[in-house]
A and B are shown apart, each in its own frame.
Chain A
Amino acid sequence: MDRSRAVLALVALAAFALLPFAAGPFWMGLATQMLIFGLLALSTDLLLGHAGLFSLCHASFFAVSAYTVAILQVRYGAPTALAAPAGLLVGTLLAAVFGLAVRTRGVYFILVTLALGYVVWGVAHRWSSFTGGDNGVTNVPFPAVGPFRIETHTGYYYLVLAVIAACALAYRALVRSPFGLALRGIKASESRMRSLGYRTGLHLYAAFVLSGAIASLAGVLYVYYNRFVNPVSASFPVSVEAVLMAIVGGTGTVLGPFLGSAIILGLRNWVSSFFELYAAVLGIVFIATVLWAPDGIMGLARRLRERAGVAPA
């Protein structure tokens, strides 16, 4: 079972690695976005799929790190070697503040994170002297560290692919570590974990900050791809769409969020090419997922495999 998944991951990686030889710039751009938003979805899934917390503020970390990079590079002329780590750091620090939300559970957690995320959008939107308001910050250059310069979209695509492959491996190790298992335990029964002596609040806080760090990394990757950032990146739809991606793909897995990101972004590009009401279609995807595929594609696949295993032909 595990081998088939490893093969699947390798095939996917090979397909992504060979893509630039087969696809034009449009598809390359789409593939880069799928990877980046897949990483954002993965970050929300560390909380949702492993710790059982439904966060609606991850666009904040994503956007704040993107803004940090953009402002440092464009306005202060800082090099990538400084701007990128700074973006990661500032996004993670914000997560350390918003991590207060883990004092709440269930519905309160959902509402509090939604409201916190909205505050960040509001600041990006209103504080126009610093953030550029609705126009945002434009003309972000390609990343360049010392002699290493990325000068093409294909080059950047490979960079993103490499970073994300490394992240996915590290994430896999994380969720299988004692810490990851403790999170699963908290998701299943927090009171039992607490009575076993685990500091559940601290575990959830650490998971929140880690998850915010991953979202910040996605933000850094995004701003160098998109070359500009505006308040839309911090908006509620980005947060909730990331969670939807994780659910559509399958929560609690590593590949699921990337699969979900590919499906949702693919659907967006396909639908918007002939139909104006894309947001309504997305809304219907939300509703259909809840009603018919709450475990996502990975869940469907598992169910099919189990059925095949139980009743051999």
Chain B
Amino acid sequence: MTSAILQAINGISLAALLFLLASGFTLSFGLMRVVNMAHGAYYLLGGYIGLSVARATGSFAAALVAGGLAVVVLGLAVDRFLLRRTGENHLAQVLLTVGVAFVIGDVALRIWGGDFLKVPVPVSLRGAMELPGGLVYPTYRVALILLGTVVGALLWILYRKTQIGAVVRAGVDDREQVAATGINVDRLFVMVSALASFLAGMAGVAGGAFLTLYPGAEWEILVYALVVVIVGGLGSLGGAMIGALVVGLLDAYGRWLLPEFSYFVLFAPMALLLLVRPRGIAGKDA
């Protein structure tokens, strides 16, 4: 019983991480109709840069911010110089961003090498803590759940309760109409894209502290984020939350109960969804 609960917490902490990545992906698709396969590479690069910053300054917070900001710069450049030229051709976007991810992955391999690297965790978050009910659990993972919850709540407030969020939501539903009312859609795109990149880079630092960073991690984490998005429904923030929990918990129990088939566990929700609801839980028909 205790281990079942521990696995649930494991799953929720992975869900927190996946949500950071998937929310950016799903929002940039919802608003800009852009499929960015480089999201996983953004995650990895953010993590590596955060790692270097953490080693240089010793500050985990600085690493989170630096990893996020570095990816914002890169992400805006990719948007401005490459993605903008593809229009709404998803095939072109996928190939282009896969190319970008290959370049980032290879360059990162030359700089940081092929070993499994771990972002150093601040002393206060090391070790284990006792949760209510006498469970002993790694402090860092609890902090990650908190981070995911706070970011999720902030995004939710931004998306649901502010004027910017209202405009973004309107943009997801009907972009032309929003542009016609005189709102600068381009500026909106830049903001959402920067936010998505920041979340991906920050997720890389946060994830790099417990999943480690290594060549190939960019595709692994991307696929998890994509399953989150598929399950939740493209373009839906709430869907991304539900999807992240589903995928995180399935993965944790899968690794525990069927270690050799843990990836296979991801197949089940997708197959079910394809049979029953091809557009995901919260996805709209478009």
Contacts and interface: CB of A to CB of B under 8 A. Distances in A.
B95 A286 contact: yes
Contacts of A247: 95
18 contacts: A100-B275, A101-B274, A107-B234, A110-B35, A111-B230, A111-B234, A118-B219, A123-B261, A126-B261, A129-B260, A240-B95, A277-B106, A283-B99, A283-B100, A287-B99, A287-B103, A290-B86, A291-B96
A89 interface: no
Contacts of B266: 115, 118-119, 122
A100 to B, nearest CB: 5
B161 interface: no
Given A118-B263, A122-B264, A282 B102 contact: yes
B110 interface: yes
Contacts of B263: 118-119, 121-123, 125-126
Given A107-B90, A111-B226, 13 more contacts: A107-B234, A108-B279, A111-B35, A123-B260, A126-B259, A235-B219, A279-B102, A279-B106, A283-B102, A283-B103, A286-B99, A287-B99, A291-B96
A111 B275 CA distance: 16
Nearest to A103: B278
A112 B230 contact: yes
A114 interface: yes
Interface in B191-237: 219-220, 223, 226-227, 229-230, 234
B230 to A, nearest CB: 5
Interface string A219-243: 0000000000000000111001001
Interface string A234-259: 01110010011001000000000000
B102 A280 contact: yes
A115 B270 contact: yes
A257 B23 CA distance: 36
B262 A122 contact: yes
A106 interface: yes
A67 interface: no
B27 to A, nearest CB: 14
Query: Chain B contact residues: over half helix, strand or loop, or mixed?
Result: helix
A244 B264 contact: no
Interface string A252-286: 00000000000000000000000011111011111
A5 B105 CA distance: 39
Given A115-B226, A119-B264, A279-B105, A106 B99 contact: no
A112 B102 contact: no
B92 interface: yes
A128 interface: yes
Nearest to B35: A107
Q: Which 6 A-B pairs have the closest CB atoms?
A: A122-B263, A286-B99, A283-B102, A283-B103, A279-B106, A280-B106
Contacts of B96: 286-287, 290-291
B15 interface: no
Contact of A100 (B101, B105, B109, B271): B271
Nearest to B102: A283
Contact of A112 (B29, B86, B94, B270): B270
Contact of B223 (A48, A107, A114): A114
A280 B219 contact: no
Contacts of A103: 274-275, 278
Nearest to B85: A291
A100 B274 contact: yes
A119 B267 contact: yes
A107 B29 contact: yes
Nearest to B94: A110
Nearest to A105: B278
A208 interface: no
A66 B95 CA distance: 26
A250 to B, nearest CB: 14
Given A114-B223, A279-B106, A283-B106, A244 B95 contact: yes
Interface string B256-286: 0001111110110011001100110000000
Contact of B219 (A125, A236, A287): A236
Nearest to A278: B106
A154 interface: no
Contacts of B100: 283, 287
Nearest to A283: B102
B229 A284 contact: no
A6 B80 CA distance: 43
A170 B251 CA distance: 43
Residue of B82, B91, B226 with most chain A CB atoms under a 10 A cut-off: B91
B230 A115 contact: yes
Contacts of A291: 82, 85, 96
A126 B262 contact: yes
Contacts of A243: 95
A191 interface: no
Contacts of B223: 114-115, 118, 236
Nearest to B268: A119
